[in-house]
Structure 1
Amino acid sequence: MPDFWPYALDAYARPGVADICLEAQDAHGADVPLLLWGAWAAARGRALSHGDVAAARVATAHWRAPIIEPLRQARRALKALAAGACENEALRQAVKKAELEAERLYMAALEQVAAGWPAPAPPCSQALRDNLARLLPPGAAPVTERLHKALS
């Protein structure tokens, strides 16, 4: 089983996964790295407990709101400005690179939460469905199901 970061890159690159994750983020406030962590846990045969999710939120609280979200907002704001001037595009790319590095460090913190888990077991499709449902709000059930299919 690969470490979380390589798993997340591979999973996010699968057809449809990025679009569904971004829809979940924009429409339901989902935390994409946390969703990918839930998928990684299921690939390791782990159904997340409420304690796992709480530990993940504590371990990563210093990343999402104070660092990743402002970088994402800046990158998105620069997108319109970048269309007209290459120096703006260079800044947007630098912000994008910083956002990606912050997400990598965020995911490293998530992987540390999993360090105490038992040895990986075979992947579990039901654990994937349950993990995604635990990490998305109830109103996101259609997105949860689409993401489950895309990651299965």
Structure 2
Amino acid sequence: MPEPLAPFWPYALDAYARPGVAEACLAAQDGHGADVPLLLWGAWAAARGHTLTEGDLDAAATAAARWRAPVIEPLRQARRALKALAADAPANEALRQAVKAAELEAERLYMASLEQLADGWPAPTPPRPQTLRDNLARLLPPEAAPVTERLHKALS
């Protein structure tokens, strides 16, 4: 498990690089409309021993509404569209990389807003495996149970 007391962004980068995590996150995103930064935030909360509350989820939904649909999703769509264009014309690759960098920066800023939500949490406590499972289950729909379990296993 990545360092629980690390700030969220370094924690997320470390967690996402673990074997199986990126694949499970993308399966949750593409198959169930999951928000990958929220999933990583839930894992970060669990690593700090924090079970997400309804208040946490409401505050996270507000942060997501500010970033996901108006900023991150259009950048993701543009990056994906440019991938095909870059294959046909290598000169387009520079634009795709610039859009990719903008998408990553937008996600970093979104994740910074999620990290601020932890300011009201109790002091970190040792993580429990059930906390991670509970947080992921609260962030994914019930029909995503197999993906939830894959992600739990990869992050544990």
Which TM-score applies when normalising by structure 2? 0.95
Shift of 1:57: 1.0
Aligned to 2:131: 127
Aligned to 2:111: 107
CA contact (8 A) 1:74 1:95 kept: yes
Which 5+ residue runs of structure 2 have no aligned equivalent? none
After the TM superposition, which of the residue ranges 51-60 and 73-82 deviates more from structure 2? 51-60
CA contact (8 A) 1:60 1:109 kept: no
Shift of 1:116: 1.1
What is the percent sequence identity of the aligned residues? Answer: 80
1:26 aligned to 30, 43, 54, which one? 30
What are the residue-to-residue correspondences of 1:7-22 with 2, within 5 Å?
Answer: 7-22=11-26
Q: Which amino acid aligns with 1:143?
A: V
| Structure 2 Cα separation of the partners of residues 18 and 83 of structure 1 | 24
Shift of 1:60: 3.2
Shift of 1:11: 0.2
2:52 aligned to 34, 37, 48, which one? 48
CA contact (8 A) 1:59 1:113 kept: no
Aligned structure 1 segments of 4 or more residues deviating by more than 4 angstroms: none
Which TM-score applies when normalising by structure 1? 0.98
Secondary structure in 2 matching 1:45: coil
Shift of 1:58: 1.1
RMSD: 0.7
Aligned to 2:39: 35
Aligned to 1:136: 140
| Structure 2 Cα separation of the partners of residues 83 and 137 of structure 1 | 36
What are the residue-to-residue correspondences of 1:65-84 with 2, within 5 Å?
Answer: 65-84=69-88
| Structure 2 Cα separation of the partners of residues 26 and 76 of structure 1 | 13
CA contact (8 A) 1:46 1:124 kept: no
Shift of 1:123: 1.2
